[in-house]
Each structure stands twice: as structure tokens, then as C-alpha cells.
Amino acid sequence: MQAHQRMLDPTPNGLHSGESPLLKTVGLTKRYGDFLANDSIDIDVWPKEIHALLGENGAGKSTLVKAIYGLIQPSAGEIRWQGEPIVLSGPSEARSRGIGMVFQHFSLFDNLTVAENVALGLDGKESFKDMSARLEQVSRTYGLPLDPGREVWQLSVGERQRIEIVRALMQNPRFLILDEPTAVLTPQEADQLFVVLERLKTEGRAILYISHKLEEVKRLCDTATILRGGKKIQTCNPRQETAASLARMMVGGEIREVKAAAGRQTTIPRLVVNDLSLAPDEAHGVRLEHISFELKGGEILGIAGVAGNGQDELFAALSGERPSKDPGTIVIEGIAAGHLSITKRRKLGAAFVPEERLGHGTAPRMKLSENALLTGHAASGMVNHGFIDTAATLKTVDKATETFDVRKAKRDPEAASLSGGNLQKFIVGREILRNPAVLVVSQPTWGVDAGAAAVIRQALLDLAAAGAAVLVTSQDLDELTEIADRIAVMFHGRLSAPLAASEATREKLGLLMGGSSLEPKEAAHAVGA
């Protein structure tokens, strides 16, 4: 009962006289030059609490947890641990006080073994042998199996995260920070993680949980603090909120609803893949095996799957970064294109948006106009007798800026100076403005804030409505069910038969993503029963 009241009134002076939160920040501020990454933030985290930290990219979540973990020094304000103000000289002091952290971008060393990685996260007071024995014991206790002798590059994403979690647990933390832990997991893997987190909670530990996924937060967390633009907006009980109300607090306004145009017509097949198999070109690549699908104009096909199951290889094969020997495996607009170069495929009317924005989608240190030229030179009239038509390239930038609301400091800045969401809007816009017949796009809204994501998804829907064939690869199942007509799943280089979006439940997709087969008959049977 008391726990319930605390959520309603999280101020320490309210119902908790005599008690103090495990960790409290008071007016915590971090300034980078003129930019306030954290503006006077107060949060309280209590034992036996899973406390969500919600906010868009750039809201200041990572800055806040870095300060709590001692990675950066706050410019003002203080951190109180069990009521006592503390100044953390660095992560090792945070760890020795009982603060642990599991990083979003894994802080692992690919060429070191699991045991060495764990040792680096501890303070080295025990021998390597004792540490290894304890590693085995902790991983068994929490049901997180690990092989200490393997090097990290050999492991799957889920296994890598297990290392991070076990490493944090081995410090026996009383306060554990998790930064977007489920971003890379299948729904089933995420469920397993929640079991571990619930167990940690019952053991009396406190968890600070950063996530974008609102449904997940509603299910798992007792308290949620919402940050926006470096400021704390509110602390609330997420179970009493709706996903929409949480999203409103995060964005500070309504998110544009993504709507498909009614009565979208499918036309002729514009992209056909026939039994495409391709050996990997690097040591830990994935072999594509017998991939076939047909994509008509006016249709969006979604490809789901855990990262590293051949999505990158499929993108490279479709875009022509890795041409195949057999022309017939890929047919664009009725023309066998499997052997063609990227430029020739663009001339057939195809456009491509890769996953990595900086370095793959754009040349980071080149201007936007130059980046527009890089993909538009063959088919968009930006080159005149071998000379660049600068006015035309700038016009493309202006048009993409206007149509897709790209926010930037000047007319033609370097690609690297744009925020992730704005750069992604520019890249998607650059391709869409070419009026492609086929658009292949990989992770269109990865690491993009909710507002920009809505713009991009709407643009993809509009493009399909205008008659183009759109292929979207994404790890975000909500995104795929929102925009795709059909969804197929990649696992170990194979592509499942597409499911109609209306039939593609999280459970079915999750099974396929984990490699279970889903016989069409069985699935139909299960639905019938």
C-alpha cells in the first residue's frame, strides 16, 4: 500500500518521513558550452523499484545516467546516495558504492574473451581464477548462461548483453542502470530479461530503466520520469498512463498520426527476387539462402528479424553493392538486374537507403548538396556534360528540406552536423524526391526521435500510395505492423514466407525471429483453434 502511495506522491517530504531514497539527484545540471544537457533534474529512486527514464533522443537521459555512474561530472547540483551527498570521481567509485550500469552500445571488447571482458568491469581485487568461478556461479543463478572462454566477436547480440548484465551483477549492485536493454532483443529474449529484472527487484535492488518502448515501460516499471530538452517534465506511475499520454509528455505535443491513404491499389510487380543465394564476403557474414519474394507497386513489404541474420547482406545484394553472378535473381521493373551496378539499378528506377546514416548513407564531412549528388548523379539531371550543376544540387537540398522538414543551421551544412533524425529525413527525402519505382530502405527510423520517425513513415506510405514498391527492413516490430502490408522474417540468411500484416502477431513474428518454423498450415490451425 505504501509503495502505491509513494508512486502517487514521489516527493520525499510527503509520505516517506524518516525514509530516504536509495539515490536522489538534486538540481543536477550538466552544461556543455551554451548547451544545457541536463537542466536542474530531481529524481528519487527507491529500493525495490524499477524506475523508467523516458525521453526522446537528446532529452538528456544518457547524460543523467552518465553523471550518476560517475562518467561525467555534473556542472551543478548533487547526487545523494542513501541521503548522503556524494561526489563520484569515476565509474570505479560508483561501482564500489553499489551502482552498476549496463550500456546501450555495449561496452565490450570484441577480441577479448568473455572472462576477460568481465574482469575489466570489476575492480580486480580477486584472482582471475576466483573471478571465473564466480562468473559461472552468477550466470547459473540468474539463468544467464555464458561460456567464459569464448571471444566476444563470436557471440550473438543477446549473448553479448548477457555478459554486460552478468558483469554488472557480479558487483552485487544495489542500484542498476540499464540503457535501452531491449533495443536489440527479440520479444522472447526481452521477456527473459524482464524475469531477471523482476527477480532483482524482489531482491531489494533498485533499477533505473531507460527505454523508448512505452508498452514495455507500462508493463515493467513502477515509476516513470519523463525528460524533454534536458528538463524533467514529470514523474508518474506509467501503469496509470496510456502509451499515448506518455508519448505526449515525451514529445511535448501530439505526434502526427501516420495514416495510409485509403484504397491503395497494387499494380504490376516492380521488384522480384528469385531464389537469391549469396556467399558472405567477410569472415562473420551471413550466407543468403534461396531468398524469393515479389513486391508489387503500391505495396510495402516489411522484413523483420534480429540484427545480423542477413539483413545487411540482403541490402547489399539488392542495392548492387554486391552484384550476383546470375542476373535473373533480382528483377527491377521487369529487367534482370542481379548483375548490374548500383548506378545502373538507379537508372532502372530503384533507390536505396542503407541503415548506417553516417559513412554509408552519406559522406559525413561532405555538404548535403554533394551528398545529394552522390546518389542522384546518374538519373536526376544534376550533371551537365560531366560538370556538376551546383544550382540543381542546391535545389534538391532545398526541396528535401522543405518537403521533409529537415532542421539545420544553414542552407548547405556538412552531413555530420545534422542530428540523426534530421539527417535521416534528408536521406529518405533525397531518395523519394527522385520518384523511385522501387525503394529499398533499411532501419528507416533507427535512433530517430518520434516526430521525425512519424514524418519518415508517412513519407514511405505516401510513396507506396503513389505506386512505388517499398521494401522496409526494420527491427522495430511496431513500425512494421504500422506501415507494412506484408511482413517476412529473416533468420540465418533465410526469409520466411510473408504474413499479411493483419495476421502478423508479435508472438508469430517472435517465433520466426528466434528461428522456429511456422508452417502456414499450423499457423492457420492455431488461429482457428
Partner 1 sequence: MELVEAIILSVLAASTPLLIAATGELVTERSGVLNLGVEGMMIVGAACGFGGAWLTGSIFIGALFGIIAGVLMSLIFALMALGLAVNQVATGLALTILGVGLSGLIGAGFVGERLTPAAHLHIPGLTDIPLIGRVLFGEDAFVYFSIALIIGVWWFLYRTRAGLILRACGDNHVSAHALGYPVLRIRTLAVMFGGACAGLAGAYLPLAYTPFFIPGMTAGRGWIALALVVFASWRPGRLVVGAYLFGAVTILQLHAQGWGVGIPSQFMSALPYLATVIVLVLLSRARTGGSTAPAALGTVFVPDR
Q: Contact positions toward partner 1, by CB under 8 A?
A: 70-73, 90-92, 95, 103, 105-112, 116, 119-121, 124, 151, 153-154, 283-284
If the CB atoms of residues 188 and 419 are measured against partner 1, the closer one turns out to be: 419
State the nearest-atom distance from the C-beta of 63 to partner 1, in Å.
10
| Cα–Cα distance, 91 to 305 (Å, whole number) | 35
- Cell numbers 520466426 correspond to 512
If the CB atoms of residues 107 and 341 are measured against partner 1, the closer one turns out to be: 107
State the nearest-atom distance from the C-beta of 356 to partner 1, in Å.
17
The DSSP bridge partners found for residue 30 are 38
If the CB atoms of residues 233 and 358 are measured against partner 1, the closer one turns out to be: 358
State the nearest-atom distance from the C-beta of 95 to partner 1, in Å.
8
Whether the Cβ atoms of residue 484 and residue 302 lie closer than 8 Å to each other: yes
If the CB atoms of residues 13 and 111 are measured against partner 1, the closer one turns out to be: 111
State the nearest-atom distance from the C-beta of 37 to partner 1, in Å.
10
If the CB atoms of residues 132 and 319 are measured against partner 1, the closer one turns out to be: 132
If the CB atoms of residues 127 and 265 are measured against partner 1, the closer one turns out to be: 127
Q: Are strands 23-32 and 35-45 parallel, antiparallel or unpaired?
A: antiparallel
Helices (H), 275-389: 311-319, 342-347, 368-376
State the nearest-atom distance from the C-beta of 186 to partner 1, in Å.
23
Q: b or e along 34-55 (b: 16 or more beta carbons within 10 Å of the residue's beta carbon)?
A: eebbbbebbbbbbbebbbbbbb
State the nearest-atom distance from the C-beta of 101 to partner 1, in Å.
8
State the nearest-atom distance from the C-beta of 421 to partner 1, in Å.
21
If the CB atoms of residues 29 and 474 are measured against partner 1, the closer one turns out to be: 29
If the CB atoms of residues 122 and 196 are measured against partner 1, the closer one turns out to be: 122
Closest CA to 194 of 173, 174, 218, 170: 218
State the nearest-atom distance from the C-beta of 463 to partner 1, in Å.
37
What one-character DSSP code corresponds to residue 454? H
Q: Which pairs with CB-CB distance under 8 Å and at least 24 residues apart come from 240-244?
A: 243/214, 243/215, 243/218
State the nearest-atom distance from the C-beta of 423 to partner 1, in Å.
20
Q: Hey, what's the torsion of the CAs at 453, 459, 463, 469, to 10 degrees?
A: -10
The DSSP bridge partners found for residue 43 are 25
If the CB atoms of residues 72 and 165 are measured against partner 1, the closer one turns out to be: 72
If the CB atoms of residues 151 and 414 are measured against partner 1, the closer one turns out to be: 151
Q: Which residues contact 402 (CB under 8 A, 6 or more apart)?
A: none
DSSP letter string, 66-122? HHHTTSS--SEEEEEETTEEE---SHHHHHHHTEEEE-SS----TTSBHHHHHHHHS
If the CB atoms of residues 77 and 91 are measured against partner 1, the closer one turns out to be: 91
- Which H helix or E strand runs over 170? helix 157-170
State the nearest-atom distance from the C-beta of 518 to partner 1, in Å.
31
State the nearest-atom distance from the C-beta of 117 to partner 1, in Å.
8
If the CB atoms of residues 119 and 499 are measured against partner 1, the closer one turns out to be: 119
Q: Is 9 helix (H, G, I), strand (E, B) or coil?
A: coil
State the nearest-atom distance from the C-beta of 103 to partner 1, in Å.
6
Up-side HSE of residue 185: CA atoms within 13 Å toward CB?
20
Closest CA to 53 of 186, 226, 206, 190: 226
If the CB atoms of residues 167 and 212 are measured against partner 1, the closer one turns out to be: 167
State the nearest-atom distance from the C-beta of 377 to partner 1, in Å.
30
State the nearest-atom distance from the C-beta of 98 to partner 1, in Å.
15
Whether the Cβ atoms of residue 220 and residue 205 lie closer than 8 Å to each other: no
What's the order of all strands across the beta sheet hosting 206-210? Answer: 99-102, 175-179, 206-210, 50-54, 223-228, 231-236
Which three-class secondary structure string do you get for 234-295? EEECHHHCCHHHHHHHHHCCCCCCCCCCCCCCCCCEEEEEEEEEECCCCCCCCCEEEEEEEE
If the CB atoms of residues 73 and 517 are measured against partner 1, the closer one turns out to be: 73
| Cα–Cα distance, 21 to 48 (Å, whole number) | 11
Q: Is 510 helix (H, G, I), strand (E, B) or coil?
A: helix
Whether the Cβ atoms of residue 209 and residue 216 lie closer than 8 Å to each other: no
Q: Which residues contact 4 (CB under 8 A, 6 or more apart)?
A: none
Dihedrals φ, ψ of 308, to 5°?
A: 85, 20
